[in-house]
Amino acid sequence: MTVAIVIVLVVSVAVIAALALARVRRRRPVDGVASFRRHIDALSPEARREVIDRVQNARDTGKGK
C-alpha cells in the first residue's frame, strides 16, 4: 500500500513539474524575426516573393529619407 502511495506522489510531482515547465516556456516573449521567418517559410513561393518585394521596397523607401 505504501509503495502505491509513493508511486502516485512521484507521478504527481513529475506532472506538476512538467506543467510548470510548459507554462514558463510559454511566457517567453515572441522573437519577431523568428516569427517572421516562420511565416515566410509557410508561404508558397509566389506569395513569398510578394512579401519579400514589399519588405525590400519599404527598406529602400526608408533609406531615401
pLDDT in tens, 20-35: 998 887 766 667 888 8
Residue spans per domain, the chain: 1-30, 31-65
Q: What is the mean pLDDT of residues 39-53?
A: 83
d(CA 34, CA 25): 16
Distance, first Cα to last Cα, the chain: 77
pLDDT value, residue 16: 96
pLDDT-based confidence at residue 13 (cuts at 50, 70, 90)? very high
pTM exceeds 0.75 for this model? no
Helix and strand tally (H, E) in the chain?
Answer: 3, 0
Write out the three cell numbers for 6: 509513493
The three-class DSSP label of residue 1 is coil
